[in-house]
């Protein structure tokens, strides 16, 4: 439920959380002061400060698109897949064999494919409508099937109710999404300066009737497709690992959602551009994925279609500590022991301590705050996790 409402100079911001860090609150008030913002701002329970706009924010606009309100990892999202396996029947060695295959076949962190993947994995495109990406095809083909760094992960999980084994992947459009975001944000800043436009640092915009805005929308939408293709390719490597470790395993269709994008939608009787930055669409009956941290639960959820959130929900647990604060205050030994006590196979080490469970909010509290936005359907706990490095 909405925990508080704060006012900007033009609109209210509705918050599905109680405690908000100062920097995040400053960004929320900025959003609610934008001349082109529509109706109100919706802030999800996993919100924390981002670049220009909070991660975990939903901004609807009239007539403009804001590149930084989507962010630099365009199309970043989740996929999840249920297997025919039951956790009690899966041996630890089988799990480690699958994880070993993933590490051998999925480049992690900043690593790319040594050789371009087959062009059949490249999403179809009208390349004439993609002025920035049309010359990046070779680069895209070396990034499909790669995890990336930060909070991206591949997990083997089990359903707490049935023991069913699931696979979950979090990743995005890799370097292409970053380049597209930075390119069009720079254009937006340039033109806002030329127009003497009223804006806020970090929230430069492009009027939707301009060619620059049309190009951004087309390239942003293609980056969403790249991100989906990337997750699908990694899921194929996971399936290979399971097939070798547990012959005869079967897989259900993959669930896929994005949480960094902008789209035309109709809300409160008007067609507007909804920017979701670290927020998941949650139309009534729509299946979503809300992950926790690398040592905590994740959820498959069903959207409730709440209009007050622009039919959106959180995209995860959300950071409790900044990366710097996590590295300076968390104990590697304690964080690792917590996961080992739960039987989780992990690779946590000092270089990724900022992704430890203690750096994140309580996922169950996050779900409690948004019980009017989504309904949990499947509760999953991690059995093994690979993080971006």
Burial 227-249 (b: 16+ CB within 10 A, else e): bbbbbbbbbebbbebbeebbeeb
Burial 253-285 (b: 16+ CB within 10 A, else e): ebbbbbbbbbbebeeeeeebbbbbbbbbbbeee
User: Count of CB atoms within 10 A of residue 107's CB?
Assistant: 19
Phi, psi of 296 (to 5 degrees): -130, 180
C-alpha distances out from residue 260 to 53, 211, 220, 233, Å: 12, 22, 10, 20
Closest CA to 292 of 311, 314, 310, 277: 314
CA 332 to chain centre: 25
Tell me which H or E stretch contains 232. helix 211-245
Q: Which of 40, 48, 315, 346 is catalytic?
A: 315
Strand duo 41-48 + 12-15: pairing: parallel
d(CA 5, CA 18) in angstroms, rounded, equals 10
d(CA 36, CA 30) in angstroms, rounded, equals 12
* Contact between residue 83 and residue 363 where contact means Cβ atoms under 8 Å apart: no
Burial of 379 (0-12, 13-18, 19+ CB in 10 A): middle
Residues 6+ apart with CB under 8 A from 135: none
Residues 6+ apart with CB under 8 A from 38: 60, 61, 62, 267, 268, 270, 272
**Sequential DSSP letters for 237-250:** HHHHHHHHHSTT--
Where are the alpha helices (H) located in 34-127, listed in sequence order? Answer: 92-105
Strand duo 153-159 + 164-171: pairing: antiparallel
Tell me, yes or no, if 112 is annotated catalytic. no
Q: Which residues are the active-site residues?
A: 315
């Amino acid at each position: 439920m909405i925990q508080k409402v704060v006012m900007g100079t033009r609109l209210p911001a509705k918050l599905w959380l109680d405690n908000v860090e100062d920097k995040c609150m400053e960004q929320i008030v900025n959003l609610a002061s934008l001349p082109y913002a529509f109706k109100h701002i919706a802030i999800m329970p996993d919100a924390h400060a981002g670049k220009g706009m909070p991660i975990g924010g939903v901004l609807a606009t009239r007539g403009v698109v804001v590149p930084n309100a989507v962010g630099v990892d365009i199309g970043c999202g989740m996929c999840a897949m249920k297997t025919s396996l039951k956790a009690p029947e899966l041996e630890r060695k089988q799990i480690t064999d699958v994880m070993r295959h993933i590490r051998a076949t999925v480049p992690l962190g900043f690593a790319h494919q040594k050789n371009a993947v087959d062009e059949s994995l490249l999403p179809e495109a009208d390349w004439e409508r993609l002025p920035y990406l049309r010359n990046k095809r070779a680069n895209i083909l070396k990034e499909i099937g790669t995890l990336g760094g930060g909070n991206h992960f591949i997990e083997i999980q089990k359903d707490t109710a049935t023991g069913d084994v699931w696979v979950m992947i979090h990743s995005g459009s890799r370097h292409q999404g970053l380049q597209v975001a930075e390119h069009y944000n720079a254009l937006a800043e340039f033109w806002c300066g030329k127009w003497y436009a009223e804006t806020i640092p970090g929230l430069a915009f492009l009027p939707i009737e301009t060619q620059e805005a049309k190009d951004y929308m087309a390239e942003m939408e293609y980056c969403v497709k790249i991100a989906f293709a990337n997750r699908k390719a990694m899921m194929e490597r996971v399936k290979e690992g399971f097939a070798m470790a547990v012959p005869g395993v079967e897989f259900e269709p993959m669930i896929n959602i994005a949480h960094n994008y902008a789209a035309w939608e109709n809300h409160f009787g008007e067609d507007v551009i909804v920017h979701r930055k670290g927020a998941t669409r949650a139309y009534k009956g729509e299946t979503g994925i809300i992950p926790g941290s690398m040592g905590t639960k994740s959820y498959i959820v069903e959207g409730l279609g709440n209009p007050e959130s622009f039919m959106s929900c959180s995209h995860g647990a959300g950071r409790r500590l900044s990366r710097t604060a996590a590295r300076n205050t968390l104990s590697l030994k304690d964080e690792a022991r917590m996961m080992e006590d739960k039987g989780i196979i992990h690779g946590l080490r000092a270089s990724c301590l900022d992704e430890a469970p203690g750096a994140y909010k309580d996922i169950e509290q996050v779900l409690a705050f948004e019980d009017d936005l989504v309904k949990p359907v499947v509760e999953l706990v991690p059995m093994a996790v690979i993080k971006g490095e």
